[in-house]
Amino acid sequence: MWIYEKKLQFPVNIKNPDPNLASLIITQFGGPDGELTASQRYLAQRYSMPYKEVVGVLTDIGTEELAHMEMICAIVHQLTRNLTEEQIKNSKFAPYFVDHTTGLYPVAASGVPFTAAYFQSKGDAVADINEDLAAEQKARVTYDNLLRLVDDPDVCAPLKFLRQREIVHYQRFGEALREVQDNLDYKNFYGYNPEFDKKK
């Protein structure tokens, strides 16, 4: 089970609200490569994973993604705090405001609501870890794209931290894939699925 710690993994202290920026950054909450889908992907995949090192990676990265989701929500919240109706009216945040006011709801930058179809849990160690490697790279690109559009250093700092974590997670998933393959027949990695077939 989980215990909540009353802290962010990295500080978020944004002085100037910016509703346009909020409507872009929210994609890392509820978008196709966001932190919500990341956490649910890894935490769902670990139950049938037979290798304890890999279960450790899925559990600990999945847990860290929950903390990243909280950081993204903190950024969006601080960017939409104390807005005037005039500021909202003249921003791209207005359609979101109509449905959710300034509450946090998981959507993509395009406005599409979160769906579990963004992630897969295939029940096959090679397929799942490859999905995870791709997911970390896609999240890294999303942070790169956001950082192209952000000037405020208060917003850049946590985004740069989160981008860096994607790279570290990619490295760890690479090691997890090696662990999986070391347990399989090196002549045919696909000869049997260690999450389903009995070991020969």
Partner 1 sequence: MNGSNNNGRPDCGDLLYAVQMYGFVLDEARLFLDTHPQDQTALEYYSKYGELYRDAVAKYESSCGPLTANSPVSTMGGRWRWIDGGWPWNGPNE
CB atoms within 10 A of CB 187: 6
- According to DSSP H, which parts of 26-152 are helical? 27-30, 35-45, 52-79, 85-89, 94-100, 125-149
**Piece in contact with partner 1 (CB under 8 A), picked from 48-56, 77-85, 97-105, 186-194:** 48-56
Exactly one of 25, 34, 41, 46 binds partner 1 (CB under 8 A); that residue is 46
Q: Tokens 């999945």 — which residue?
A: 62
**Piece in contact with partner 1 (CB under 8 A), picked from 44-52, 77-85, 142-150, 153-161:** 44-52
Angle at 140 between CA 137 and CA 143, to 5 degrees: 155
CA–CA gap between residue 158 and residue 156 (Å, rounded): 6
Q: With respect to partner 1, which residue has the nearer C-beta, 56 or 174?
A: 56
Q: Is 123 in the site for partner 1 (CB under 8 A)?
A: no
Exactly one of 8, 55, 67, 150 binds partner 1 (CB under 8 A); that residue is 55
Question: Contact positions toward partner 1, by CB under 8 A?
Answer: 1, 3, 46-47, 52-53, 55-56, 59-60
